[in-house]
Structure 1
Amino acid sequence: MRDHVRIVCRAAAAAIALVAAGGSFAVPAVAAPAGITQTAAAPAPAPTGLAYSYDAATELVTVGWDPKDPGDTVTTGYREGGCSGPSTADGPCFVRASGPLLTGSSFTFRLAAGRTFYFRVYAENAAHQRTGSVILTVTT
C-alpha cells in the first residue's frame, strides 16, 4: 500500500510540475484496493413531534421531540440549531456542530421573556450527515 501511495504522490508531483511549466498531463485512474468498497451512508430520520415548555421564573425553555424509534439503527444522536426565520425561505438554519451529540430527546436553554426564536433539531448518522426537523417557533 505504501508503494502505491508513493507512486500516486510522485505522479501528482510530476503533473503539478508539468502544468506549472505550461504543459499538460493526464492522470491515470487509480482503482481502489481489493476488498474496499464505498457505500453511501443512510440518512437519519428527521426528528418529529417537536414541542416546548417555558419556565418564566428561570427563563428556561425546554425543547423536546419524539424519542428515537427502537428500530432506528442509523441515528447516533441529535444537534440543535437556530434559524433566522419561521421557514427556510425566511432565512437559513444554523446547526451547533461542536460539542457532544444530544443522546436524549430534549434540550434546555435560556431565553428572556418577550422573545421569539426559531429552532430545528437535527438527527445525525455515523457519517455526520444531518436531517433536520420542521422549524419550531418558540415564543416566551
Structure 2
Amino acid sequence: MRDRMRTACRAVTVAVALAAAGGATAVPAVAAPTGITRVALPPAPTGLTYSYDAIAQQATVRWNPKDPADTVTTGYREVSCAGPTTADGPCFIRASGPLLTGDSFTFRLAAGRTFYFRLAAENAAHQHTSSAILTITTT
C-alpha cells in the first residue's frame, strides 16, 4: 500500500513539475463529435386556464393553440407539481403515452382538492419547456 501511495505521489509531482515548466507535455486536440444535430427547444405553452365540472368531477385545462409558425413543438405533456411553485416541491412530467396535440386536456379530479398543473411542450428530441404552474381548485 505504501509503495502505491509513493508511486501516486511521484506521478502527481511529475505532472505538477511539467505544468510549471510551461506545459512540456502536449495534449492532442479533440475534434468535435460529428453527426450531432442541435434541436431548438419548443416555446413554453401560454394562456393556461381551467374549468371544472363538479358533477362529472372533471377538470379541463386549456391553453393557447400552437402557433402555425412553430415547427419545433411536436406535442404537449401534462405535468403535476407538489406545490404552487417549484420551490414548494418537484414537478413530474408524464413521460409515457401519447402526446397531447390539441389545445385542451381533461382529467378526473375529486371535489375539494387543490391541484398544481403545468404543461410541457415537447420537441422531436423529447426535450421540454414547461408553462407556468396553474393552480386548480375544485369545489
Structure 2 equivalent of residue 10 of structure 1: none
Aligned equivalent of 2:129, options 112, 128, 131: 131
Structure 2 equivalent of residue 84 of structure 1: 82
In structure 1, C-alpha distance between the alignment counterparts of 2:85 and 2:58, rounded to whole Å: 24
Q: Which whole-Å deviations, capped at 9, do the CAs of 1:77-107 have from their partners, x for residues lacking one?
A: 0000100000001011100000010000111
Structure 1 equivalent of residue 99 of structure 2: 101
In structure 1, C-alpha distance between the alignment counterparts of 2:117 and 2:135, rounded to whole Å: 7
Higher-Rg member (1/2) = 2
TM-score where L is the length of structure 1: 0.74
Unaligned stretches of 5+ in structure 1? 1-27
Unaligned stretches of 5+ in structure 2? 1-27
Structure 1 residue 39: deviation in Å? 2.7
Structure 1 residue 40: deviation in Å? 1.7
In structure 1, C-alpha distance between the alignment counterparts of 2:31 and 2:111, rounded to whole Å: 60
TM-score where L is the length of structure 2: 0.75
Structure 1 residue 37: deviation in Å? 3.6
- Residues 27-38 of structure 1 aligned to structure 2 (within 5 Å): 37-38=35-36
Paired amino acid for 1:50: L
In structure 2, C-alpha distance between the alignment counterparts of 1:63 and 1:40, rounded to whole Å: 31
In structure 2, C-alpha distance between the alignment counterparts of 1:139 and 1:71, rounded to whole Å: 34
Q: Percent identity?
A: 75
Segments ≥4 residues shifted beyond 4 Å:
28-33
Matched length: 111
